[in-house]
Copies of this chain bind each other. A is one copy, B any other.
């Protein structure tokens, strides 16, 4: 499966680098910025999901390439705005968009601290704006590459609904959580947020692949809905695994700063469940260990022990497994072919990864 995934990545990389939409962007460094995240590579999981769901139903995966590229671009622009919002400095081992632009302003315009900060943020807002347009333009191009105008329109509108409307709603809830008191966020709230923020674009990918194979813009068709559900289940499982790795993972493998979720007091399901299960005095103890600037192994192990002993760690692993089984069960209802095997392997990969 990893080889096939690499093949998909190569195809998407090439389409992105050669696309003509960014050529009309000015100034030149904004054009370069718009190209930046999309050409940083990455696994291209969303395009693979879209292409393989298309293949699963016997569709022509060549005709699905532009929608696959569109999903990847869509993912990337949300990262650009997400990074501004989270004030993150690094993305895939390189500077985030706003951070790179901040440094650019310092060097090129000799801007002071405040001016450079604002410039970085403002230009990054615009870069993400153009990228959203680019994603939409890419899906609309599908009509020139094998899809009917009607299906192309239906796919465009589906991406706008699940992406621009629902995914961004999830991002909004994610920003809102830290503003609310802990007691007012439940594991259901977080699950709902994850379905919106992570689930919707994956749902789009699966649905779009199926719709292309079936040549229909009717997203209420049974196969399309089933594959949409598969993608959401796999996506949430992936996210739960991510939360688990954030505390119990090996930072040498994940490349992420272990415990950054604790520093930011991120209301993950793992953390919320721990609070739910702990007695009041231990809740207080845990609260005292949140929001620290640094975590040494001693404190980290205390947190881990609390999470294990109260059953929250096991709960998250079981939920992850449950969702992964649900996802696989849906796939088994489709006839066996090489794409079904790839999707099954992809699902296993998402929930078992160590990095």
Contact = CB atoms under 8 A, between A and B. Distances in A.
Interface of A: 21-22, 24-27, 30, 81, 84-85, 105, 109, 111, 115, 119, 122-123, 125-126, 128-130, 132-134, 136-137, 140-141, 143, 148-150, 152-153, 156-157, 160-161, 163-166, 168-173, 175-176, 179-180, 196
A25 B150 CA distance: 26
Interface of A is mostly: helix
A24 to B, nearest CB: 5
A165 to B, nearest CB: 5
B172 A105 contact: no
Contacts of A125: 81, 84-85, 125
B130 A132 contact: no
A285 B171 CA distance: 50
Contacts of A30: 169, 172
A235 B65 CA distance: 39
A156 B136 contact: yes
B179 A111 contact: yes
B149 A137 contact: no
Given A26-B169, A27-B172, A136-B160, 13 more contacts: A25-B169, A84-B122, A85-B125, A119-B175, A130-B169, A133-B160, A134-B160, A134-B165, A143-B153, A148-B149, A149-B152, A152-B153, A156-B156
Assembly of this chain: how many copies? Answer: 2
Contact of A109 (B150, B153, B179): B179
Nearest 4 interchain pairs by C-beta: A133-B164, A149-B149, A109-B179, A26-B169
A56 to B, nearest CB: 27
Nearest to A150: B149
A165 B22 CA distance: 7
Contact of A26 (B150, B173, B175, B180): B173
Given A125-B81, A126-B172, A133-B165, A140 B160 contact: yes
Given A129-B81, A160-B137, A122 B175 contact: yes
Contacts of A132: 129, 132-133, 164
A123 B175 contact: yes
Nearest to A22: B165
Given A164-B133, A165-B133, A126 B179 contact: no
Contacts of A109: 179-180
A143 B217 CA distance: 13
A134 B164 CA distance: 8
B25 A105 contact: no
A137 to B, nearest CB: 4
